[in-house]
Amino acid sequence: MSAYRTLILLTLILALGVVSLGAYVRLSDAGLGCPDWPGCYGHLTPHHAADKIDAALAEDPHGPVSHAKAWKEMAHRYLAGTLGLLVLAIAFAGWRLRRETQGGPVLPVLLLALIIFQALLGMWTVTWLLKPLIVSAHLLGGMATVSLLLWLWLRERGQSGHAYFAQANHLRGAAMFGLLLVVVQIALGGWVSTNYAALACTDFPLCQGQWVPPMDFEHAYTLHRELGETATGELLPMAALTAIHWVHRLMAGVVVLVLSVLVVRLLRAPGYATLGLAIGGLLVLQVSLGIGNVLLSLPLPLAVAHNAGAACLLCALVWLNFRVRRR
């Protein structure tokens, strides 16, 4: 069983890396570095596809294809493929050890189904040319994979490491509400990123010098459309990008308020101070990174860190919900 738990933990760490690398690929405009799937121009590596990449560069030097972007995209695919194999191993081991595990094989099998769907979303991301709905779903699928792996690892630890947590039924509702709000905020942030709306507002706390700038919500939240276009194929207006950014910023304020109250309650609950401090620290970090991305015009390291911070904050809320339900 210790090997099974170690496998889950290593897979969880890799999943966090895949999510962060996926953000790096997306934010560095490398999502179409290899315009086919699963290989690169039909080859296993960009090195073997060098001639075709050179031809694409000669045709359009400023296009989505380059040697660097191809390697970024394929590195993400290699790691994602490794993650898939590890999840397959977890599902197989979970089935074989089903009488010894803490909760049976259902969760490992669910993880395997999710990772297969994630692979399909990864393929559609490329073949459907970065359609925002697909890319956003792929991001949420990655976050869900991390969350389920964390829950599985915590479950398989059994009573080890959390006997000091007191009964906290009074925190269950607040913990679940906080988790749901963070999930919604991640979805909104993903919609900002996949529509390239992060710089629609370049000032803070105002947006374009106003508290409520001109916005187009209809086109902003039309889900079935191509990147940068309305549902009718016209150029997506700036007012739509502004609406996407502004809603994410508004929801951030709600998340800060709700999680701040939750942190205060955790600090007062016996045994929960450490989790409360972790959630509070991650919340401050996320707000700081968000503001920094706006004021510094979205530097790539800060933008990737903002995505990774969202995954860490989500994990902290998942951990909290596990604790208040298991005790």
Report how far residue 272's alpha carbon sits from residue 255's, in angstroms, rounded to the nearest whole number. Answer: 20
The number of residues in the chain equals 327
Type of residue found at 50: A
State the first-to-last Cα distance of the chain, in angstroms, to the nearest integer. 22
Is residue 73 part of the annotated active site? The answer reads: yes
Q: Which residue in the block uniquely carries the two structure tokens 């699928």?
A: 141
Let me know if 31 is exposed, middle or buried by CB neighbors in 10 A (0-12, 13-18, 19+): buried
Other beta carbons within 10 Å of 215: 22
- Of 108, 107, 74, 78, nearest to 93 (Cα)? 108
Report how far residue 16's alpha carbon sits from residue 24's, in angstroms, rounded to the nearest whole number. Answer: 12
Q: Which residue in the block uniquely carries the two structure tokens 């925190």?
A: 171
> Out of 59, 73, 100, 226, which one is annotated catalytic?
73
Report how far residue 246's alpha carbon sits from residue 240's, in angstroms, rounded to the nearest whole number. Answer: 10
Maximum C-alpha span of the chain: 65
Q: Per the structure block, which two tokens stand in for 322?
A: 């596990």
SS3 214: coil
Q: Hey, which residues are catalytic here?
A: 73
